[in-house]
Structure formats: structure tokens, C-alpha cells
Copies of this chain bind each other. A is one copy, B any other.
Amino acid sequence: LELKKYLMCKKKNLDFYTFLKNFKEQISSLNLKNTIQKDYILKVLFFSDRHLTVEDIVELLKKHYNLDIAITTVYKTVKLFEELNFITSLEIEGSPKYYELNHSISHNHLICSSCFKIVEFIDQVIELKQQEIAIKHKFTLNNHNLVIYGLCDKCR
């Protein structure tokens, strides 16, 4: 029971092995190969409570699983995972890309300019307004990226 709770992901409300099984099935059905590299990169992202850069992923693979996976492989893999909608990316001014498990629900980020803490939020009013604006300008909305920069309470 304790183990099961540990394996749950807050974001997906799912245990890792169910998630991994589904993942492996999707990889197979696309005629791609299941590998240790893919599994562990996914695992690191699944259990992380923060947004990770490619470099972070390499370090965590080494630290937690003593695995040496080439950074090139991680770049290729996160690109694939993003295309398959397993993960999403976040661009922050002057930083490498950050990755996180796909929440399915559209959300935005509030970032502290000093300590780089990232807070996620959802706002239905902003979501709807964006739809309105897209329609007004005759755009078909596909995704958006709202990042608010500020100072968190600890840093000011």
C-alpha cells in the first residue's frame, strides 16, 4: 500500500506501471522499439515534481538509477515524447527547454525571476478570452504559452 502510494503520480492520478504499460503499447503500435532508455526517461519525468531540462534528466538518470544515457539520446527521446503528447515543453527566457509529463489540461506558468521557482495555474477566464481573441483575428487556436515573470514572496 505504501509502495502503491509512492508510485502514484499526482498529475496523472495513476500508478507508474499502468502508465508504463500503456506507454509501451503505444510505442509498439507505432512500430517503434521499446528500450530501457525510453522507459527510464519516462520514469524520471513521471516521478519528478518539477520541470526538467534535458541536462536534468541525464543527471537524475545517473543519480537515481545509475544509468548513463547519452544526452543526444535524451534530446531525441524528449522530442519523440513531445510529438506523441506524452510530455509537454515550456520555454523560459534565456533557459533551455523544460519538460514535464503531459497534464492534458491546459495550464500556465508563473516563474520567479530570482529563484526560478515555477508555479502552475489554470484560469478558465484566460482560456476563454484566448479563444475569443483567436476567433476575432480569424485564427485557429492550437496552443498557447503564457508565462508570467515576477518575484516570489521569499525572493523579494
- Chain A residues with CB under 8 Å of chain B are 91, 93, 110, 112-113, 119, 121, 123, 125-126, 129-130, 133-134, 137-153, 156
Contact = CB atoms under 8 A, between A and B. Distances in A.
A143 B133 CA distance: 20
Contacts of A153: 138-139
Contact of A142 (B113, B140, B144): B113
Given A121-B133, A144-B146, 19 more contacts: A91-B91, A110-B133, A110-B137, A110-B139, A112-B139, A121-B137, A123-B133, A126-B129, A134-B148, A134-B150, A138-B152, A139-B148, A139-B151, A139-B153, A140-B156, A142-B149, A142-B151, A144-B149, A145-B148
Contacts of A145: 93, 145-149
Contacts of A149: 141-145
